[in-house]
């Protein structure tokens, strides 16, 4: 896990299925992390719209599908207001990489010493599978389910890219 924590610049591309008690949806995900700066693009299928988040955890610019832009110091509240979904934006960069966000998180490891389950800040994160990153001696999460109360996020990563020496190296 420590080798993964050292990776500051990365990108993952995949899909997220979001389910609540009353609704659900699927979006394509393009997450680009550069240190503590992020650019997340969520595209709904069939031209239903795009939401883009850019910035740092303490200050993000959110652009919705109509082009409306909102600068916020609380991206989680802003996303909930925009979509109705309470999504743990600040913890996701760690969880997506297979790391606990909080030092007091309860973790369970698989046989390869990777996270299998994680209980962090009231959320349950289940890591179903990992994928190798060619050229690197590590595996990154491929299928993740994040749950709390009536919300369930299911992430399937199609590709990982790792930044090495200022150059993005794709997984294949």
Model pLDDT for residues 125-166, shown as the tens digit of each residue? 999 999 998 788 889 999 999 999 989 999 999 999 998 654
Q: Is the pLDDT of residue 123 over 80?
A: yes
Q: Which residue has the tokens 């007091």?
A: 104
Q: Which residues of 40-72 are buried (b: 16+ CB within 10 A; e: fewer)?
A: bbbbeeeeeeebbbebebeebebeeeeeeeeeb
Mean pLDDT on 38-48: 85
* Dihedral angle of Cα 1, 148, 60, 81, to the nearest 10 degrees: 170
Res 80: pLDDT:
84
Residues 6+ apart with CB under 8 A from 43: 27, 28, 30, 49, 50
Distance of CA 171 to the CA centre of its chain: 17
Say which residue the tokens 């595996």 belong to.
Answer: 139
Phi and psi torsions of 73, nearest 5°: -95, 0
Is 78's pLDDT higher than 60?
yes
In whole angstroms, what is the distance from residue 156 CA to residue 46 CA? 19
The pLDDT, as a whole number, for residue 85 is 77
**Hey, where are the domains in the chain?**
2-170
Q: Is the pTM of this model over 0.85?
A: yes
Q: What share of the chain is helix, strand, coil (3-state, %, to 5)?
A: 10, 55, 35
Question: From CA 52, how far away is CA 67, in angstroms rounded?
Answer: 10
Question: Taking Cα atoms as reference points, which of 32, 28, 24 lies closest to residue 53?
Answer: 32
Closest CA to 3 of 113, 107, 91, 105: 113
Burial class (CB in 10 A: 0-12, 13-18, 19+), 22: exposed
CATH number of 2-170: 2.50.20.10
Beta bridge partners of residue 25, listed in sequence order:
18
């Amino acid at each position: 896990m420590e080798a993964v924590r050292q990776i500051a610049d990365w990108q993952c591309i995949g899909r997220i299925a979001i389910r609540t008690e009353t609704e659900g949806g699927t979006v394509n995900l393009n997450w680009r992390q550069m240190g503590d700066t992020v650019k997340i693009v969520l595209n709904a299928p069939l031209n239903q719209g795009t939401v883009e988040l850019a910035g740092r955890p303490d200050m993000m610019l959110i652009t919705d599908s109509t082009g409306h832009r909102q600068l916020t110091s609380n991206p989680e509240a802003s996303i909930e207001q925009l979509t109705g979904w309470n999504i743990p934006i600040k913890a996701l960069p760690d969880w997506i990489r297979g790391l606990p966000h909080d030092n007091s998180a309860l973790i369970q490891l698989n046989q390869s010493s990777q996270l299998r389950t994680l209980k962090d800040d009231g959320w349950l994160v289940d890591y179903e599978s990992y994928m190798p990153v060619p050229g690197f001696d590590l595996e990154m999460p491929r299928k993740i389910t994040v749950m709390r109360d009536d919300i369930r996020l299911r992430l399937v990563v199609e590709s990982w890219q790792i930044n090495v020496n200022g150059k993005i190296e794709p997984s294949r």
